[in-house]
């Protein structure tokens, strides 16, 4: 496929906000793609070269793209900068300055050159990247140049997501969304939309479930929990359950292969460098290959207590990691095993997986299997919840004893217990919201750059507003927030945002930053597009372990609203 042909389809995508229209345009692109290029096409549509867990990024700033464009167009950098200031979009500027009307650039060739550009490192790499991108600009059509400029900057924003890709593949094969559940099930085990597209194109949807199995080094999407307050409801919905402690740590999926250990967060980012302790796993197990689900949590051996989530997250800074390994040892509360020595355990009942898990480790201080109690008695759940709360933990996780490991938040397989709420008590659970925009600081906050931010929840591919937040942040956090949001400012309101005109902020940002919010209650709202609002919202913490795809959904917010209206 010619890159110009793909660019014409991307232009159609850019012009529509309809989910159905987007899906159909994507399916038409896939029909025109051959099996050897569909994976590359898919990744370019998503504005990337590979799934995030592979860590392949462009590392190109605006000024580098400006240099490449000036070089290709034979213009001065000052002229390109002036046009950029006028339009606010380097894609539009590139289209204006690239004069070639016809282009023979193929999609596969563009992808391969961009890939080579992205992985180029070391001395002189910045200049080589500029030269490589300028060569692509020189061979592109004006419309192709629009998207060539946006892709390395991460500003494609076509409204397409991995979920839309899944639906489009179903449309390609069946002419409707009937195959989406089967494709999505495979994607949850191997979250690589490009690879899934290639498999469907080559072999059809049939057999995906047999071909796609857990692989060490490729993170599966994690299994997530639902919320319930009543232990009696838990037993009614789930039957026999396993009751376990809930820790306030970082969810870590551990992949072990004969001595080499890698770790992934719940949003599939590799976090191996945060946890040098993981490289000791081979000392404590006879297994050759493992995929484990766990919670990483710091333990203060002097005070004999667990540390909170924020202390764990300080390990993102390299100098903190080396210091923390000595000062604050990390332990991994391992609560599931989904793969062992060539055997996929995802389809096995939870209790059977527990038996495999309990035989995995020698006694050691780093990898600890969560204690559990199997019961059908709701009173046992209540008693254990209180016991764990008294120990400083978050309470209990309750798991259906015969449940398979099913990625995502579906069915009543895992639930976390939420306590009853009185009329004056704060909301018993927090909300993970996406920052959509912000208002400039005024008065004392003028120096921070941010006065308050607009936050929303997810509904399919859209984001719906639920609150504005200006409390709960320290001066340092306000400054950190200003720095973060300054890097992701959007020239206009992103197409996936649904915002009442009275709530529009001074500045829009791309949906990237997830924050945990507390509130007194959830109320109905005529202006917030979620139809619900957080009353007296407060910032709790940044959720850097979560991507926007893992933010609270509208349906989850509605469930929280129901829970507060129907206390025990």
Quote the CA–CA distance of 312 and 330 in Å, as a whole number.
8
pLDDT of residue 104 exceeding 50, the answer is: yes
3-state SS, residue 248: coil
Quote the CA–CA distance of 37 and 31 in Å, as a whole number.
11
In-domain check, residue 438: yes
**Known catalytic membership, residue 246:** yes
**Co-location of 437 and 558 in the same domain:** yes
3-state SS, residue 129: helix
Residue pLDDT, tens place only, 178-215: 999 999 999 999 999 999 999 999 999 987 877 899 99
**Co-location of 480 and 452 in the same domain:** yes
Give residue 137's pLDDT.
96
**Co-location of 413 and 437 in the same domain:** no
For residue 319, give Cα distances in angstroms to 315, 325, 533: 8, 10, 40
Q: Which CATH number is 348's domain given?
A: 3.30.470.30
Choose the final residue of a domain: 417, 444, 459. Answer: 417
pLDDT band at 320 (very low <50, low <70, confident <90, very high): low
In-domain check, residue 337: yes
Residue pLDDT, tens place only, 342-388: 999 999 999 999 999 999 999 999 999 999 999 999 999 999 999 99
In-domain check, residue 242: yes
What would the two tokens of residue 326 be?
A: 């000595």
Neighbour count for residue 141 (Cβ, 10 Å): 23
Give residue 568's pLDDT.
41
pLDDT of residue 452 exceeding 80, the answer is: yes
Please report, rounded to a whole number, the percentage of residues in the chain having pLDDT higher than 70: 92
Quote the CA–CA distance of 75 and 63 in Å, as a whole number.
14
Contacts within 8 Å (CB) and 24+ apart, 375-378: 375/240, 375/241, 375/243, 376/235, 376/239, 376/240, 376/241, 377/235, 378/230, 378/231, 378/232, 378/234, 378/235
**Co-location of 453 and 483 in the same domain:** yes
pLDDT of residue 549 exceeding 90, the answer is: no
pLDDT band at 440 (very low <50, low <70, confident <90, very high): confident
Q: Are 222 and 251 in contact (CB under 8 A)?
A: yes
In-domain check, residue 254: yes
Catalytic residue among 67, 155, 201, 246: 246
DSSP structure class, residue 567: -
Name the β-bridge partners of 538.
518
**Co-location of 413 and 495 in the same domain:** no
pLDDT of residue 418 exceeding 90, the answer is: no
**Co-location of 365 and 492 in the same domain:** no
User: Considering its fold, how many domains does the chain have in total?
Assistant: 2
pLDDT band at 424 (very low <50, low <70, confident <90, very high): very low
Quote the CA–CA distance of 72 and 95 in Å, as a whole number.
12
Q: In terms of residue numbers, what domain contains 265?
A: 226-417
**Co-location of 397 and 481 in the same domain:** no
**Co-location of 413 and 443 in the same domain:** no
Q: Are 183 and 170 in contact (CB under 8 A)?
A: yes
Quote the CA–CA distance of 60 and 316 in Å, as a whole number.
22
Quote the CA–CA distance of 333 and 469 in Å, as a whole number.
34
Q: Are 321 and 281 in contact (CB under 8 A)?
A: no
pLDDT of residue 94 exceeding 70, the answer is: yes
Give residue 312's pLDDT.
66
Quote the CA–CA distance of 112 and 108 in Å, as a whole number.
6
């Amino acid at each position: 496929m010619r890159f110009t042909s793909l660019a014409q389809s991307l232009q159609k995508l850019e012009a529509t906000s309809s989910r159905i229209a987007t899906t159909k345009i994507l399916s038409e692109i896939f029909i025109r793609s051959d099996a050897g290029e569909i994976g590359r096409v898919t990744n370019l549509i998503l504005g990337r070269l590979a799934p995030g867990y592979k860590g392949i990024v462009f590392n190109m700033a605006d000024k580098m793209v400006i240099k490449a464009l000036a070089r290709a167009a034979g213009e001065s950098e000052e002229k390109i900068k002036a046009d950029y200031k006028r339009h606010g979009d380097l894609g539009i500027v590139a289209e204006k300055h690239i004069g070639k009307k016809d282009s023979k650039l193929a999609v596969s060739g563009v992808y391969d050159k961009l890939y080579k550009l992205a992985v180029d490192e070391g001395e002189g790499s910045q200049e080589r990247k500029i030269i490589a991108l300028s060569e692509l600009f020189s061979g592109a059509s004006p419309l192709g140049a629009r998207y060539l400029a946006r892709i390395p900057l991460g500003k494609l924003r076509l409204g397409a997501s991995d979920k839309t890709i899944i639906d489009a593949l179903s449309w390609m094969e069946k002419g409707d969304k009937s195959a989406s559940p089967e494709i999505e099930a495979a994607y949850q085990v191997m979250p690589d939309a490009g690879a899934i597209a290639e498999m469907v194109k080559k072999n059809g949807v049939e057999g995906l479930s047999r071909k796609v199995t857990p692989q060490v080094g490729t993170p599966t999407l994690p299994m997530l929990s639902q919320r319930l307050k009543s232990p009696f409801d838990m037993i009614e919905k789930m039957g026999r359950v396993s009751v376990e402690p809930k820790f306030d740590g970082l969810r870590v999926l551990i992949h072990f292969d004969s001595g080499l250990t890698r770790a992934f967060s719940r949003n599939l980012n590799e976090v191996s460098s945060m946890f040098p302790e993981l490289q000791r796993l081979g000392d404590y197990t006879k297994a050759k290959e493992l995929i484990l689900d766990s919670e990483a949590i710091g333990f203060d051996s002097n005070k004999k207590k667990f540390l909170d989530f924020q202390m764990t997250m300080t390990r993102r800074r390299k100098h903190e990691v080396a210091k923390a390994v000595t000062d604050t040892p990390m332990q991994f509360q391992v609560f599931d095993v989904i793969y062992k020595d060539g055997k996929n355990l995802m389809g096995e009942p939870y209790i059977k997986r527990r038996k495999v898990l309990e035989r995995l480790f020698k006694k050691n201080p780093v990898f600890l299997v969560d204690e559990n109690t199997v019961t059908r008695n709701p009173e046992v759940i209540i008693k254990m919840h209180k016991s764990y709360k008294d120990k400083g933990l978050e309470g209990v996780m309750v798991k259906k004893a015969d449940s398979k490991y099913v990625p995502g938040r579906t069915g009543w397989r895992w639930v976390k217990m939420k306590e009853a709420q009185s009329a004056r008590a704060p909301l018993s659970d927090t909300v993970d919201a996406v920052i959509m925009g912000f208002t400039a600081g005024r008065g004392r906050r003028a120096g921070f750059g941010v006065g308050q931010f607009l936050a929303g929840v997810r509904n399919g591919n859209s984001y719906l507003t639920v609150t504005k937040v200006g409390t709960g942040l320290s001066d340092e956090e306000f400054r950190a927030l200003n720095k973060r949001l300054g890097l992701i400012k959007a020239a206009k309101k992103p197409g996936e945002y649904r915002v009442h005109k009275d709530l529009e902020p001074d500045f829009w940002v791309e949906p990237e930053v997830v924050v945990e919010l507390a509130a007194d209650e959830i109320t109905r709202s005529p202006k917030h597009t979620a139809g619900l609002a957080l009353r007296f919202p407060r910032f709790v913490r940044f959720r850097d372990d979560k991507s926007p795809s893992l933010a609270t959904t509208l349906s989850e917010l509605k469930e929280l609203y129901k829970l507060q209206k129907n206390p025990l």
